[in-house]
């Protein structure tokens, strides 16, 4: 049963139009905590995360906490993640929780409840998931996201060299695994596509995958998917790379960056200035 919340895709599209197509990651690496003069424990993690929220909330389209860097501090770190997500909700900024969960049956339903249920302390506006137990394994997450007006970003085409052996592999018909994932997302977004709006089921497509989208015959524009694109900025992708990868689907892209902004800390003003610069670059590359 729908909660009455506006669909994630519509909320994200509006945020991208109003604030620019940038998602800032909160990735509290040990080295970043040290660079900010913070302790590598839950107290340092809390200071880092809430300062990042203070700096960018309301100023960028979305914020993406990376769950691994919270989980490494145990239950105290997960408590900080809950507090960070709550701070983003309070600020009215969309959260994308980067967890890349993937499982089957009741276990996947458990993940869905944890990250997409109203009232869950870990609830985010969207989360990342892995489809490599078969796209159908994502049904519990896709169903609950639809019911609650939340979103899902499905790993589609990643830039790590190891990913090619799975994502570029083909079935007897010649369709690649990545192509099958895009096909599943396209079906999931059929209603949004018919309405000419951005869907709530997105794809994670690395900004540095070069010609892979073209070579594998992936129609990202037809998917109506928001395209979360890691690898922008410090990881190497600028306007030419984004044009090569996304082409006519560029307006669907939510560029993801973390280091380019976070390395400007710990000063809140410096973080904001870095986020503004990154937003301007994303607008120029994707909306120019």
Q: Which residues are known catalytic residues?
A: 100
Per DSSP, 65 falls in state E
202: Cβ–Cβ under 8 A, 6 or more apart, which residues? 126, 151, 152, 153, 154, 185, 225, 226, 227, 228, 254
- Which tokens is 94 given? 């969309």
Instruction: Tell me which residue has tokens 């860097």.
Output: 69
Compute the residue count for the chain: 288
The kind and range of the H/E element at 256 are: strand 253-257
Q: Give the whole-angstrom CA distance, residue 287 versus residue 180.
A: 28
Q: Give the whole-angstrom CA distance, residue 218 versus residue 168.
A: 11
Report in angstroms the alpha-carbon separations of 1 from 4, 12, 65.
Answer: 9, 22, 28
């Amino acid at each position: 049963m729908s909660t009455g919340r506006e669909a994630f895709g519509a909320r994200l599209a509006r945020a991208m139009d109003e604030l620019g197509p940038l998602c800032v990651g909160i990735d509290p690496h040990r080295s970043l905590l040290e660079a900010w003069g913070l302790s590598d424990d839950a107290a340092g993690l809390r200071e880092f995360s809430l300062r990042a929220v203070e700096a960018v909330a309301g100023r960028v389209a979305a914020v993406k906490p990376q769950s691994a860097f919270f989980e490494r501090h145990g239950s105290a770190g997960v408590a900080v993640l809950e507090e960070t997500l709550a701070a983003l909700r309070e600020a009215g900024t969309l959260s994308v929780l980067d967890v890349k969960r993937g499982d089957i049956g009741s276990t996947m339903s458990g993940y869905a409840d944890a990250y997409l249920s109203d009232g869950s302390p870990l609830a985010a506006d969207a989360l990342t998931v892995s489809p490599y137990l078969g796209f159908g394994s994502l049904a519990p997450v896709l169903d609950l996201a639809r019911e609650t007006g939340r979103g899902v970003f499905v790993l589609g085409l990643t830039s790590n060299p190891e990913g090619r052996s799975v994502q570029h592999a083909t079935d007897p018909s010649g369709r690649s695994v990545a192509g099958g994932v895009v096909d599943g997302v396209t079906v999931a977004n059929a209603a949004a596509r018919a309405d000419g709006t951005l869907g709530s089921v997105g794809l994670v497509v690395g900004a540095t995958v070069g010609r892979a989208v073209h070579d594998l015959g992936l129609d990202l524009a037809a998917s109506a998917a928001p395209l979360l694109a890691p690898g922008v900025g410090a990881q190497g992708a600028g306007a030419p790379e984004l044009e090569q990868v996304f082409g006519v689907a560029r307006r669907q892209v939510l560029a993801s960056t973390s280091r380019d902004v976070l390395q400007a800390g710990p000063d809140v003003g410096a973080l904001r200035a870095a986020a503004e610069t990154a937003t301007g670059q994303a607008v120029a590359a994707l909306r120019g």
